[in-house]
Every structure is written in C-alpha cells, then in structure tokens.
Amino acid sequence: MKPRFAVADILTALRFPLAVLFPLVRAPAWQVAIVAVASASDLADGMLARRFGSSRAGAVLDPIADKFFMAVAFVTVWRRGLLVWYELLGVLLRDILAVLGFIATWLLRRPVALPARAGGKAVTIVQLLTLVAAVTDWAYTRHLAWATAAIAVYAIWDYGRTAAKKARTKGSGTEGVGTGMRIVAVTLASLVWAAGGGGTMTSLAAQQFQPPKNGKHSGTRIGLLGFGVRGGIDFRKSEQLVLGGTLDFGDLFTNRIRLRPSAELGVFNGANTYVGSFEALWRLNADQEVPTPYLGGGLSVAGKDGCGTDPQCPDLWLNVVFGFELRYRSTFNWLIEYHGMDLMRRQRFYIGLTTRRGN
C-alpha cells in the first residue's frame, strides 16, 4: 500500500504559493521565472516519485496543483487584456473538462483512472509556451492560444476514447457504451450549468504518467512509403481555400522521425498561391497505435500568380506543424493538422486522408 505522503509531495505543494505569487508580481521577468520554477517542480516531483515512490496524497495533489497554477496564471493574463475571454476558455479547455469529467464519473459512481496521454502532455507544453508568450507580450501570443485550444480538442477526444474503452472492459459492451454516453451527457450538462453561474468545482482526477511505447528503430530509409491528400483554410492572411498532397518520403534515424514533402494550391480571395514544403515530423506513438499525434517543422517556398512583379516572391517560410491521425480504414487514417507558417504569420488548418503504416 502506498504511503500517505512522499518526498515528491513537497515539490508538488510548491506550486500553490507560486500560483498565489504570480498575480502579485508585475515585472515580466519575475513572472517568467515563476513559470520556470513551477515547470521545474512539476518535472522534478515526477522524477522523485518514480525514483523513491509516490503517495496517496500526491496522486490527488499533483493534478490539483497543476490546474490551479494554470488557472490562476491565465486568469491573471486575461485580466490584463493579453487574451480575450474565449481564448482563455480555449487554453484551459482541457483542464475545465477534466474537472467536469471527474465530477460526472463520481456522480455516476463509475470512476475511471486514466494514465497521462501524449495529447495531454502536448497541451501542457503549449500552455506553458502560451503563458510565457503572453507575459513577454509576444506578437503571436494569440496564435499560440488557438494552437493550444486545437491540441486540447484532440486531447479531450483521446481521453474520452480511452475512458470508453475502460468502461467497456468493466462490463458488457452495451453497458460500457451507455456509461460513456452518460458521462458525456453529465459533463456537458455540468459545463452549461457552470456557464450559467453554477458553483465552483475543484476536484480533479488523478493521473499517472505512462510514456508512449518506443517505436522499433529501423534506421534511415528514403523512398516513397505512402501519400496523403488534404484541404483546409488559410484563416490568418488570405482566407484562401488550400488544397494539397503529401508524400511519406522516408524515416530519419528512426521510424518515429518522418520526412514529408508536400505541395499546396491556394484558390479564391485573390491570386492563386503555390507552396512547396519539406518537413520533419516526430510521431509521439508507434504507427500501430491510433490516434497518433505528431509535431515538427520545416521550410516552404511560396509563390503566387504574377510572382515576377513582386520583389518578395518567391518567399521562404519557416513553419511549425502539429497534427494527429485517426483510424479510418485498414489502409487509411484521417489526418487533422495545424500549420503555423511564415514564422506564425499564416495559420492553416487541414483535414485529409493519409495511408497507414504498421498494418
């Protein structure tokens, strides 16, 4: 049986006074330092828990400390006008629904213990980046906030899918599905109730970190290993409809690092635009595990009709990428992606299909 308290709990509890201190400090440098100390304490308490063992108190205290610090820090940023209210809800969406989901399972007397997932860890990382960007008044803070919200939507879907699977394994298939539907219904009803002025909810579900399985090392491979098609919107600049295709061109050192060239055509709302990209993507799960989140970056060469009259055409863009694949057929996955292109000056969202590996 686990002890009531452990050494790691001291570092976990440190995030509570740091959260109280954050809105009292005005200097951006000190606020960034507070965020850095809180992040370090979160990393260190996990290492100590794995090295010396965790406790019953720590299992509850750790997620409460994480979400309390994030909530206080982002509300502080919002009150200073650095984010608008719907962006605040977006960056905290995963945390809000985690609280409501725990309450829903408690009311139904069907608690489900879920290990930390790759999507949830990605949300936490981008939340911290957004917080630092807001404190330092970076011009692209709101872009990061929207990216955080997009990743949170995936994380929520992933946790819901895992919870439904666990519910089905505890009973018959229909009972598991019914339980999952009741959990979703109670969670959504609680969210509407809270939006209408309901009481404060502070109980959180405990999470235990479980790293993703390592993909089998296969070395560097170059060649046509798959392809994909996608369409989306460039909503930041031209608001053009973007259509394109990708090639699964190879692996770099391991089958987790994917090399992917792509080509896109932008139509409507002005001159047609053309973008050719080459990206390296790190896949957080093995190919056999779906959903599969991934992130990475790359370079693009961009042009448009009448390019000869524009001194900045063609242009070279630096891009960041986040996306995930969802199982569709035995040979295809759904592809959902966010691209921050041209140093975040252009924001593109895509939906498409891509061939599956690891069948």
- Using one digit for the tens of pLDDT, what is the confidence trace for 171-206? 544 444 444 444 444 444 444 444 444 433 333 333
pLDDT at position 300 over 90: yes
Give how many domains the chain has, as a whole number. Answer: 2
Residue where one domain finishes, among candidates 156, 176, 209: 209
Q: What is the average pLDDT score of the chain?
A: 76
Q: Is residue 216 part of a domain?
A: no
Do residues 203 and 235 both lie within one domain? Answer: no
**pLDDT, position 138:** 84
> For position 268, which CATH number holds?
2.40.160.20
pLDDT at 263: 92
Label residue 280 by pLDDT band (50, 70, 90). very high
The mean pLDDT of 43-52, rounded to a whole number, is 80
Q: What pLDDT shows up at residue 266?
A: 87
The residue type at 143 = H
pLDDT in tens, 326-350: 877 777 888 888 888 888 888 888 8
Q: Are residues 179 and 278 part of one domain?
A: no
Q: Is the pLDDT of residue 94 over 60?
A: yes
If you average pLDDT over residues 312-335, what whole number do you get?
A: 85
Clarify whether residues 150 and 270 are in a common domain: no
What mean pLDDT do residues 257-264 have? 91
Residue 145 and residue 40 share a domain: yes
pLDDT for position 279: 94
- Phi-psi region at 257: left, alpha or beta (left = phi > 0; alpha = psi -120 to 50): beta
| pLDDT for 304 beyond 80 | yes
Distance separating alpha carbons of residues 215 and 295, to the nearest angstrom: 16
Model confidence at 278, pLDDT cuts 50, 70, 90, reads very high
Helix (H) or strand (E) holding 120: helix 118-135
CATH number for the domain spanning 111: value is 1.20.120
265 and 154 within one domain: no
* Shared domain check, 205 and 319: no
One domain, residues 277 and 247? yes
- Report the alpha-carbon distance of residue 317 to residue 309 in Å, rounded: 19
Which of 49-63, 92-106, 180-194, 256-270 holds the top average pLDDT?
256-270
The verdict on residue 3 lying in a domain is: no
Q: Look up the domain containing 116 and give its range.
A: 8-209
pTM for the structure as a whole: 0.50
Domain limit, last residue, from 189, 209, 229: 209
Closest CA to 184 of 114, 124, 122, 108: 108
Structure tokens at 287: 């190919």
Question: Tens of pLDDT along 118-147?
Answer: 667 788 888 888 888 888 888 888 888 888
Same domain membership, residue 181 and residue 40: yes
Instruction: Please write the tens of the pLDDT for every residue from 97-125.
Output: 777 766 666 665 555 555 566 667 788 88
Query: Can you tell me the distance from the alpha carbon of 355 to that of 342, in angstroms, rounded to the nearest whole number?
Result: 27
Same domain, 264 and 137: no
DSSP conformation class of 112: -
In-domain check, residue 190? yes
- Domain match, 199 and 242 both: no
Same domain, 118 and 164: yes
Maximum mean pLDDT: which of 33-37, 61-65, 214-218, 249-253: 33-37
Q: What would the pLDDT profile of 162-171 be if each residue is shown by its tens digit?
A: 666 665 665 5
Would you call the peptide bond into 63 cis, given omega within 30 degrees of 0 as the criterion? no
pLDDT for residue 108: 58
